[in-house]
Amino acid sequence: MFRTQQSRSGNDLRFSLLILPGLRRAGMVVRLLMCSVLLLALTALSGKLSEAQAAGSTAGKHRAASSGAKGRNRSVRKKAALPAKARTPARGRRRGRAAAAAAAAGATAATAAAVASPATSATAITTNTKPELLPRCGFTEASRRHIFSRGVYVLDEETNTPLFERNADTVAPIASVTKLMTAIVWLDQKSLPMANRLEVTEDDLDNLKFTHSRLNVGASLSRADMLHIALMSSENRAAAAMSRDYPGGRPAFIAAMNARAQALGMPHTHFENGTGLSPENVSTPRELAELVKAANRYQLIRNDSLDKQKIINIGRGQLQYINSNRLIRYGQVNATVQKTGFINESGHNMVLRLLVHDRRPVIVTMLGSGTADGSRLDGVRIAKWLNCSLN
């Protein structure tokens, strides 16, 4: 019997060693499965709670909107119960809102019209824009520093707009630019037979600067030729003979020149003689623009000042004259009137009435260049600015 019990105990021990670990593993698997099921249940429950909260929120909004609508309805009913005088401000506000809406609609329509017609707007802008010299055309600070003339005035005659000025109101000697006024006053005589001959006398000699002339005393020229070489070649004795050939003589002629300057609106301009050899013949670049305008009204002045060369019969032979302005002589600019001038006190001067693109008049006056080439180069530079910048 003792052996039988002992064998049973041994069997139970073996059973425990074999079965118990398996049961432990099964328990762990069961616990894992239960945890998974629990997690799934919690996830499903949280989803339902979220849906419920969302539904409650939407319902709240609907209720708020409904209550707001009911509130508005009650307000409308209360307003309807008010007397007519109490409702008047509300109508005024409605009319104000209607007027504002109409104004906004009008502004929108105006904007649409502006967008729909860009060509018309561009035309209006172009029309109201004043002409100007453009940096892309070389009109820069550095380029302006290379202008040699001390006094400059550039005027767009079409719009009366100054395009560039430097010391434009500084009074300075103008030298032979004077001859434009000499020609104007001389041509204003009522009876002036241009074919009649005019003789050079000793009264026409330069006793101020003692300049030389190819016209000797005794030379006889037609009045037309005297005017021609005075303007084209700046012949001083021709200009002196013209100022002497005037009713009342040379003093009356000088008085007429100064009176004409005042009539043209040139208060700072003054003349002492008809040649420009006197340093007391003075003006400003701005006022000389008025002189150029006046000279341009005379066909003879336009033709003679722009002629490149001419052979003159002086009675005892012939003389050939050329234009003293190299810009004109070599066709570097297109102009309708020009005149140059030089004395030591003034430096080299030049005035021009240019035709930009052969049609747009621009007046250029330049005083006080140190050299003749400086004055010529100023004219070329300014002409390039104008041709590029203006239409």
Residues 288-337 have pLDDT tens digits of 999 999 999 999 999 999 999 999 999 889 999 999 999 999 999 999 99
pLDDT at 95: 53
Mean pLDDT value across residues 353-374: 98
pLDDT at 19: 56
Mean pLDDT value across residues 331-359: 97
Greater confidence (141 vs 115) lies with: 141
- Residue 339: pLDDT over 80: yes
- Residue 51: pLDDT over 60: no
How much is the pTM?
0.69
For the record, the structure tokens of 379 come out as 């004219």
Residue 84 CA: distances (Å) to CA of 87, 88, 98, 260, 324:
5, 6, 20, 81, 94
Residues 240-273 have pLDDT tens digits of 999 999 999 999 999 999 999 999 999 999 999 9
* Residue matched to tokens 């860009």: 118
Q: Which segments within the chain are labelled E, that is strand?
A: 151-156, 161-166, 172-173, 197-199, 220-222, 282-283, 309-313, 318-322, 335-343, 347-356, 360-369
Q: Which residues are catalytic?
A: 176, 179, 234
Residue 200's CB: how many other CB atoms inside 10 A?
23
